[in-house]
Chains A and B, each alone.
Chain A
Amino acid sequence: MRAVLAQSRAELALTLRRGESLLVSFAIPIGILVFFAEVAPVSTDLDDPVAFLVPGVLALAVMSTAMVSLAIATGYERRYGVLKRLGSTPLSRGGLLAAKTVNVLAIEVLQAVVVVATGVLLGWRATGGLVLAVVFLLLGTVAFAGIGLLMAGTLRAEATLALANGCFLVLLFLGGMAYPLEDLPRILRDVAQVLPAAALSESVRAACTPGVAVPTWSVVVLALWAVGAPVLAARAFRWEE
């Protein structure tokens, strides 16, 4: 327990020292929220752009932390032999995973606070089933962490860095986060429907919007990613590069 606490503290310190990781986790989501709410308001079938954006940006925040930051940090820990070295200490794999989970959830809570606070400043009023939204965000965290660890445990560190950032960009465009999926060409919209980003943002948005039913398809897709990605990561993960 002492080991997991110390490990969590160290992981958190490392995350907070990585400037580029904070940029992806905080600056980009807040930037998108403010830009598409105030500078170039996105038009959606919801009355207020902020009501559309806050759930989408929460999904984006989860993606940035659970997938991008986790993948890059873990990939380089593997590159530097840290993961291998930990393998001969009494810290178990479960303990390491627990510490990484604490780290990801702590950053996500910070992100959520900042995103919601910014949203409130921009006129967002929290309504709808927030508990359900949190459940979806946690499900999304599991899915994206699985994808991140799959990259980190199988690719070279540089490849993980490039692919994680590339996926972030593509899933941002195809995620229904900053603008509605309906704005995409038909073919891209179909692709987006099976990817985890849109599944997460649509689920969270429905949960946050009173009177809108949670789309079954999105929840199913999200759940499949949340099971499939971690299972695949666990099977394919190699501790040494």
Chain B
Amino acid sequence: MSATPAIAVADLVKQYGDRRALDGLTLSVAPGEVFGLLGPNGAGKTTTVEILEGYREPDAGVVRVLGLDPVRDGARLRPRIGVMLQEGGLYPGLTAREVLRLFAAYYAEPDDPMALLARVGLEDAARTMVRRLSGGQRQRLSLAAALIGRPQVVFLDEPTAGMDPHARATTWRLVRDLAEREVTVMLTTHAMDEAEHLCDRVAIIDHGRVVASGRPTELTRSLARDEVELVSEPGIDVAALAGALGLGSERVRERRPGEYVVAAPGTPDLVADLAAWMRDRGHRIDVLHTGRRSLEEVFLRLTGDDAPTGVPGP
């Protein structure tokens, strides 16, 4: 990671009345990184992003974007960032092209509005009023407005919410393009596949603090389960299977009819023994699953009501 982070946040606290929206949140994003903020509703994702954008001031803690304080140095920071709000932000009575031309005029060296419209797949909607655009089209125009000023840091609050798969693919490609041009991207999302595909690093936040952070693969590996899942026909002799695998009989169980769980690490030896036993008995193997959890499982495990506290460390 580079010496000066593009975004650095330390011990952020934000209180709304009785509710503590942020409770000592700390994170750091390197230049050119695509960083994902994940968390359940109300975890503090939007509050964090809006503090970084300069909309809110934290009650305590230090915030730096490109080395600047978003509130105190806002006039110097705003020309260098791009913002996509979770919703709204566009004049309903202007056309898509007029919106981008207007936003282009705010910046010293903006991108070309028509070229950018084409990049987000809206060239055919250039003369359409914002109020007549579909939800997904508005999202893409919002994204274009965030990029028109050639920002160094881009904040995207749920950029693909409400998009069809095609628009989503376009958006993902654009975000990866940004990363290649060394633009730093911070995005929030509910979609775990989005985070896994798009983000170099993610932080899972819950109750206003980071409960886990790292590369998506690190997070999923860190919670790799010592379990093998097997789907086959119902009624297999689990005790015999456990014996064949050299395990105690309680280590293999039929969770639901036809769904088996072997409570042991899915080593190559174990999988080979299991497959041989199944072949000898004439059972089919519909699904065999070993290894890491999906990010979604990590997320649910860490942010659920029975979430373990503080694992793994950031």
Q: Which residue of B lies closest to A18 (CB)?
A: B93
Of residues 8 to 45 in A, which have CB atoms within 8 Å of B's CB atoms? 10, 13-14, 17-18
B89 and A10 contact, CB distance less than 8 A: no
What separation, in Å, do the CA atoms of A91 and B102 have in the docked complex? 11
B87 and A89 contact, CB distance less than 8 A: no
What residues on B are CB-neighbors of A18 within 8 Å?
93
A85 and B90 contact, CB distance less than 8 A: yes
Q: Which residue of A lies closest to B84 (CB)?
A: A85
Which of these, B78, B88, B94, B101, contacts A89 with CB under 8 Å?
A: B78
B78 and A14 contact, CB distance less than 8 A: no
How many A-B residue contacts, CB cutoff 8 Å?
69
A82 and B93 contact, CB distance less than 8 A: no
What residues on A are CB-neighbors of B93 within 8 Å?
13-14, 17-18
A84 and B85 contact, CB distance less than 8 A: yes
| Most interface-central of A2, A18, A89 (chain B CB within 10 A) | A89
What residues on A are CB-neighbors of B55 within 8 Å?
84, 87-88
Determine the main DSSP class of B at the interface with A. loop
Query: Does B53 reach chain A (CB closer than 8 Å)?
Result: yes
What separation, in Å, do the CA atoms of A185 and B116 have in the docked complex? 63
Query: Does A3 reach chain B (CB closer than 8 Å)?
Result: yes
Known: A80-B91, A84-B88. A6 touches B75 (CB 8 A): no
What residues on B are CB-neighbors of A81 within 8 Å?
85, 87-89
Chain B nearest CB from A238 CB (Å) reads 12
Name the interface size band of chain B: 20 to 34
Of residues 33 to 89 in A, which have CB atoms within 8 Å of B's CB atoms? 76-77, 80-82, 84-85, 87-89
What per-residue 1/0 map shows which CB atoms of A130-161 lie under 8 Å from chain B? 00000000000000000000000000000000
Q: Which residue of B lies closest to A6 (CB)?
A: B105
Which of these, A6, A14, A91, contacts B101 with CB under 8 Å?
A: A6
Q: Which residue of B lies closest to A14 (CB)?
A: B93
B94 and A85 contact, CB distance less than 8 A: no
Query: Does A90 reach chain B (CB closer than 8 Å)?
Result: yes
Chain B nearest CB from A195 CB (Å) reads 32
B105 and A80 contact, CB distance less than 8 A: no
Which of these, B75, B89, B92, B149, contacts A84 with CB under 8 Å?
A: B89
What residues on A are CB-neighbors of B149 within 8 Å?
89-90
What residues on A are CB-neighbors of B172 within 8 Å?
none
Chain A nearest CB from B211 CB (Å) reads 28
Known: A10-B98, A14-B93. A82 touches B107 (CB 8 A): no
Which of these, A10, A84, A87, contacts B102 with CB under 8 Å?
A: A10
Interface residues of B (CB under 8 A from A): 53-55, 75, 78-79, 81, 83, 85, 87-94, 98, 101-103, 105-107, 145, 149
